[in-house]
């Protein structure tokens, strides 16, 4: 049932994007931004959302922002866990969120190690650019939120404003409060 809701959300999103609907989005880093970063989170057991994540994402979604996760998961490239483990965590995450009527537009994962010099690892803006064209995003109306400078740099290179947690705001709730007020 939950899986079906996620499927239809994505389908409608694809259709409306295809028809040219323009949107705004918030790009979220994963570890240390929506969930505790215990270092190379590779299993559902290690994946714990911050208490403020659900209310914060709900508020963004109610204010018309698509939610997009862009995450560097070099633990895959380092052999600590597999891409299948990452997908398992993400299915788990999407189910938790869908129960709260929160849907993610997409989760982009870079599985590479830094020394592989791939095109998709943040601070490279590859996934941000990809999302902008996939979902007809209006860059000026988008934000990226992360707990590391490279999260913000990646967005900036794609013309997207960034909020660094721990510097600009203490947590996701405060960041979201700012975004919603600014975008009114």
d(C-alpha 154, C-alpha 164), whole Å: 12
Q: Which does 23 bind (CB under 5 to 8 A by kind): Zn ion, Mg ion, none?
A: none
Q: Which of residues 22-41 bind Mg ion (CB under 5 A)?
A: 29, 31-32
d(C-alpha 170, C-alpha 56), whole Å: 13
Query: What pairs with residue 143 in β-bridges?
Result: 26, 161
Q: Which of residues 20-39 bind Zn ion (CB under 5 A)?
A: none
In the complex, the smallest distance separating the C-beta of residue 89 from Zn ion, rounded to whole angstroms, is: 18
What CA–CA distances, in Å, run from 85 to 75, 89, 119, 150?
Answer: 10, 6, 22, 24
Q: Which of residues 68-127 bind Zn ion (CB under 5 A)?
A: 110, 112, 118, 120-121
- The residue (of 5 and 90) whose beta carbon lies closer to Mg ion is 90
**31, 147, 168, 174: which is the annotated catalytic residue?**
31
In the complex, the smallest distance separating the C-beta of residue 63 from Mg ion, rounded to whole angstroms, is: 23
- The residue (of 17 and 128) whose beta carbon lies closer to Mg ion is 128
Half-sphere exposure of residue 154, counting CA atoms within 13 Å on the CB side?
Answer: 31
d(C-alpha 144, C-alpha 150), whole Å: 11
168 annotated active-site: no
Q: Which residues are catalytic?
A: 29, 31
Q: What does the binding site for Zn ion look like in residue numbers (CB under 5 A)? A: 110, 112, 118, 120-121
């Amino acid at each position: 049932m939950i899986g079906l809701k996620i499927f239809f959300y994505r389908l409608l999103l694809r259709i409306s994007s295809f028809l040219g609907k323009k949107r705004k989005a918030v790009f979220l880093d994963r570890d240390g931004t929506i969930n505790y970063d215990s270092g190379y989170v590779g299993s559902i057991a290690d994946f714990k959302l911050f208490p403020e994540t659900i209310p914060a994402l709900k508020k963004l979604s109610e204010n018309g922002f698509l939610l997009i996760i862009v995450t560097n998961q070099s633990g895959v490239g380092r052999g600590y866990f597999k891409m299948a483990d990452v997908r398992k965590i993400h299915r788990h995450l999407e189910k938790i969120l869908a129960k709260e009527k929160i849907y993610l537009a997409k989760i982009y994962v870079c599985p590479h190690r830094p020394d592989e010099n791939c095109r998709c690892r943040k601070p490279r803006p590859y996934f941000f650019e990809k999302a902008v064209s996939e979902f007809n995003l209006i860059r000026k109306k988008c934000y990226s939120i992360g707990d590391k400078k490279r999260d913000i740099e990646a967005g900036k290179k794609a013309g997207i404003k960034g909020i660094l947690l721990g510097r600009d705001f203490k947590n996701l709730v405060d960041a979201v409060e700012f975004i919603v007020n600014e975008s009114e």
